[in-house]
Amino acid sequence: MRVLVVEDDEKAASFLANALRESGHSCDIASDGEEGLSLALSEPFDVLILDRMLPKRDGLSVLEELRKQENHAPVLVLSALGTVDDRVAGLRAGGDDYLTKPYAFSELLARVEALARRKSPEEASTKYVVGDLVLDRLSHKVTRGKENVPLQPREYRLLEYLMKNAGQVVTRTMLLEHVWDYHFDPQTNVIDVHISRLRAKIDKNYDKPLLHTVRGAGYILRDGAV
């Protein structure tokens, strides 16, 4: 995966680029808005990480210009501005995701990877399959092996999101955002409890666990060990 980091803070940019490279992605850096825009327009990137406050041209204006020029590369907006309004402004300008500084790298990586996947044309598949776990999006039925797994509506949506991102780390905030549509950070680990309930239904009575916890990052649904 090829990522463009548009960030004026040199240390932050190189930290981000190194970390992304360590995770197996290739990474370019642009240090101001103009450079970022011309790079993004001239070369194909899988994901753009765009800081909101940039010299020469601010992040949102770069984003608007990109979209005007029919460039639809997924963009993760990074910002120190973290209120609901700032987020809405970022998404309205054409951003696909919004992350407030300071962030945990694991959070950023999970989101960037999710964005890159989203870019590949949404497989119109009506079924998600991970190992012997099958989720039928038409009938809303979930089966493991031959057994039917009865789920509450919210558990179904939680599993659906995990399966859509199967093989990739999904963070707690991503789950809260996509399954519950909230962007705040609850103090108690509400998500963990929901996960453990889901786990009790899909994993508990089976030999091979599919839903794994990634320490310090989140969860991953995959067939096989982490």
Shortest distance, position 167 Cβ to another protein, whole Å: 26
Assess 129 for contact with another protein (CB under 8 A): no
Sign of the C-alpha dihedral, residues 2, 27, 97, 214?
positive
Q: Give the chain's radius of gyration (CA, Å).
A: 19
Phi, psi dihedrals of residue 28, rounded to the nearest 5°: -115, 155
Binding segment toward another protein, per CB under 8 A, in 23-31, 57-65, 71-79, 179-187: 179-187
Shortest distance, position 59 Cβ to another protein, whole Å: 20
Sign of the C-alpha dihedral, residues 107, 217, 225, 165?
negative
Joined tokens for residue 197: 């309930």
Q: Using CA atoms, how far apart are residues 62 and 54, in angstroms rounded to an integer? A: 10
Assess 161 for contact with another protein (CB under 8 A): no
Assess 100 for contact with another protein (CB under 8 A): yes
Assess 184 for contact with another protein (CB under 8 A): yes
Phi, psi dihedrals of residue 56, rounded to the nearest 5°: 70, -50
| Span 25-84, contacts to another protein by CB under 8 A | 82-84
Assess 154 for contact with another protein (CB under 8 A): yes
Assess 189 for contact with another protein (CB under 8 A): yes
Q: Using CA atoms, how far apart are residues 81 and 172, in angstroms rounded to an integer? A: 21
Indicate which single residue of 22, 193, 205, 208 sits in contact with another protein (rule: CB under 8 A).
193
Could you list the residues that contact another protein (CB under 8 A)?
A: 82-84, 100, 102, 104, 154, 180, 182-190, 193-194, 196-197, 216
